[in-house]
Structure 1
Amino acid sequence: MDFGYARVSTTHQDLERQLVALAEHGITEDRIYADKKTGATVDRPKFQEMLGYARPGDTIVATNLDRLGRNLRECLNVIHDLTERGVGVKTLRDPLPIDTTDTSGMAEISVAMLALFAHMERVFMRERAAHAREVAAAQGKQPGRPRKLSAAQLAAARAALREDQPAAQVAEAFGVSRATLYRYLAEAPAAQPSAANTE
């Protein structure tokens, strides 16, 4: 049995194009599942409902592979998990169509190519991140996200906490969450007094 899956990232986007393509493929409306939710998680209501119905020998059909996940690596994980369950995956409009029910070997080649692309994507992302860190270091900038608390602010926050001010109030005063405040305090422990000051 074929199940159709359609997804758009926001409630403002239209599912119609995908629904029409699935219907033209012969999937009846009662076997089409659609989510209006980001692909950043596989914990999507209709997606999970569809997985609950799918049995070995069934196939999940989508217009494009990116409907199943947020990136190539996640889509490959979905394909792997479904294959382990004996459930096929088929796409209708990808430049490199996927059909894991194809026994001719083309399906394995397509998935292998996608795995290669996913690996290349990760390598390029790591290289771009490393280059950005090198450029930032060369310019004397702190790599990563800008810090929310400066050293002076952190010292003032620490002093306020020593005066038994509630952590929630201190965090609010500096415009950060209590969790962020605690994280910064843990990253930069208070300076220990020197031997000269303890004599």
Structure 2
Amino acid sequence: MELGYARVSTTHQDLERQLDALGHHGIPDERIYTDKKTGATIDRPGFTELRRYARSGDTIIATNLDRLGRNLRECLNVVHELREQGIGIKTLKDPIPIDTTDDSPMAELAVALLALFAHMERVFMRERAAHAREATAATGKLPGRPRKLDPNQLAAAQAALDTGQTADQIAAAFGVSRATLYRNLTENKPADQQ
């Protein structure tokens, strides 16, 4: 039986592209397991449930090998453990097709190469992010996306909160969500007041 697995790294990301690919492959929704959690940890509820459900002869289908994990060792360990249980892994969109139900040396090489590429991309991504933070800090700007509210708007919003206006009223006045208002106010406070 084919079982699907889809994962994104954060709750803010969308699983739709992966779910569509698994659906087009013919896997029904009730046999697709999902997680919204980083691949750097193997402690993922959906993946744990999938592994409990899968039996020898089943195949886990994912869009890409890095959905199983971005850490090289963990990814290779997962593939090895599943193969030991007679459970295969196939990917739909990797540049080198993965099918661990094939015992050929080329299939093993493909898994190792893709796991290595995923690991390297994670390392490079961290390096690029660290460099971007350093470059931004050197200019005196805050890292990340531009803030929705400038310092004058934040001061006005805080004053309105202090006078008893509700967060919903203030957020509506500035054209932002309540969550954005609170996040911007929190980020604007000195560290000792947070």
Q: Deviations over 1:79-116 (max 9, x none)?
A: 828729935123377625331673x7766554333322
The correspondence of residues 49-198 of structure 1 with structure 2, limited to 5 A, is: 51=50, 54-60=53-59, 62=61, 65-66=62-63, 73=70, 80=78, 83=82, 86=85, 88-91=87-90, 95-99=96-100, 102=103, 109-137=109-137, 141-189=141-189
The change in CA–CA distance for 1:155 and 1:71 in structure 2 (over 3 A counts) is: farther
Q: Does 1:9 align with 2:17?
A: yes
CA distance in 1 between counterparts of 2:129 and 2:166 reads: 38
Contact 2:56 2:86 in 1 (8 A): yes
TM-score of the superposed pair, with normalisation by structure 1: 0.56
3-state SS, counterpart of residue 9 of structure 1: helix
Larger radius of gyration: 1
| 1: CA distance, partners of 2:176 / 2:131 | 30
Percent identical: 43
Does structure 2 retain, via aligned residues, the 8 Å contact 1:88–1:101?
A: no
Identify if the C-alpha distance between structure 1 residues 120 and 12 changes in structure 2 by more than 3 Å, giving closer, same or farther: closer
- Report if the CA contact (8 A) 2:148-2:184 is conserved: no
In 2, Cα distance between equivalents of 1:61 and 1:14: 11
User: What CA RMSD, in Å, does the superposition of the two structures yield over aligned residues?
Assistant: 4.6
Q: Does the C-alpha gap of structure 1 residues 84 and 164 become closer, same or farther in structure 2, counting only changes over 3 Å? A: farther
The residue type paired with residue 87 of structure 2 is G
| Structure 1 position 154, deviation (Å) | 0.6
